Amino acid sequence: MHSLDFVIAAPDRGIENSLRTKIDRKTKPLGALGLLERTALKIGLIQQRLEPAFSQPQLLVFAGDHGAARAGVSAYPQDVTWQMVENFLAGGAAINVFARQNGLQLTIVDAGVAHDFGKRAGLVDAKIAAGTANYIETAAMSAGQCAQAVARGAEISRKLAAAGCNVVGFGEMGIGNTAAASLITHCLTGTPLAECIGRGTGLDDAGLVRKQALLESALQRYRSAGGDNEPLAVLAEFGGFEMAMMVGAMLGAAAAKMTLLIDGFIVGSAALTAARLAPALTEYCVFCHRSAEPGHAAQLRGLGAEPLLDLGLRLGEGTGAALAFPLVQSALNFLNEMASFESAGVSEKE
């Protein structure tokens, strides 16, 4: 599983000095807007413009079920996945509230939920199967299913880009997916598994010990079968359909030179996988927040990422990306609207 037809080149740096000069000539001390300055520079490079602008901002929430959820890796029953998708479609979840507030169009993608929704407004049916297999006993998905999920995700991004969207946020829903993200993070960063495992949706101490034991046994099974750390193999082994589809959507979005808004731990595991496949992907990513899940720190280190927010969030759904979006917009607004020393007639530092 190595053949991926994505050409993701780093943005051309020819415009970088002009962008830096524009940022530095604003009426402020050098570097005084901190991470906002680095964000403005990044998006200017992505768009290859001195006046970057967002059009048709979109948030995609990918939903899928995990066979391992039935083995007890989560505090919640598996039915919560489809029930939460219904909540998204009814407009009642946290992500609906924040997307509405911040002008993000929201689309829910059924990548592999164990439920039949029928045709619904706001729902893209891209279902690969009714949930993955239980990775404690066997691979979560076949290589073919994984490739299909990646391809469908890429197609979703291509369609958005063709319709004029140039910024896309990523979110997910899938009971059991923090466990899958923990395994992927361990395999792709080498961080000890125990440091990649958290309480997810709220496991108690006994539940956390059980989760660790289950994930250790899944890892042992994979290793004893000769499993390596090749990104797509790891994704197929432990990932969910929502995660694999998100990997494809990220690769497709970066190939289309969109700005990617990366949420927390589960979206981060997809970003980590995509970046291992195409290292230039990170140059199209704005890392929106630092999750309270312990494994997220390992991902951010592995990606060399500096997140915008640290609010102790661990909700998923893309909520961190939606909350950070106004800050990302602020980065563009200061670049485009703030006066320069020359234009404002303000004296500079002696």
10 in any annotated domain: no
Q: Which amino acid is at 84?
A: M
For residue 294, the Cα-to-chain-centroid distance in whole angstroms is: 16
Amino acid letter, 132: T
Residues labelled catalytic: 317
Phi-psi domain of 235 (left: phi exceeds 0; alpha: psi -120 through 50; beta: other): alpha
CATH number of the domain residue 257 falls in: 3.40.50.10210
Count of C-beta atoms within a 10 Å radius of residue 297: 16
User: What does the DSSP assignment read for 170-237?
Assistant: EEEE-TTHHHHHHHHHHHHH---HHHH---TTT--HHHHHHHHHHHHHHHHHHHHTT----HHHHHHH
The answer to whether residue 317 is domain-embedded is yes
Contact (CB, 8 A) for 263 and 171: yes
Q: Assess if residue 238 is contained within a domain.
A: yes
Domain count for the chain, please give it. Answer: 1
For residue 187, what are the domain limits?
58-334
In a domain, 42, yes or no: no
pTM above threshold 0.95: yes
Helix pair 295-303, 177-189: axis angle to 10 deg: 40
Question: 117-138 burial, b for 16+ CB within 10 Å, e for fewer?
Answer: beeeeebbebbbbebbbbbbee
28 lies in a domain? Answer: no
- pLDDT in 10s for each residue of the chain, 350 residues: 344 678 899 999 999 999 999 999 999 999 999 999 999 999 999 999 999 999 999 999 999 999 999 888 999 999 999 999 999 999 999 999 999 999 999 999 999 999 999 999 999 999 999 999 999 999 999 999 999 999 999 999 999 999 999 999 999 999 999 999 999 999 999 999 999 999 998 999 999 999 999 999 999 999 999 999 999 999 999 999 999 999 999 999 999 999 999 999 999 999 999 999 999 999 999 999 999 999 999 999 999 999 999 999 999 999 999 999 999 999 999 999 999 999 999 999 88
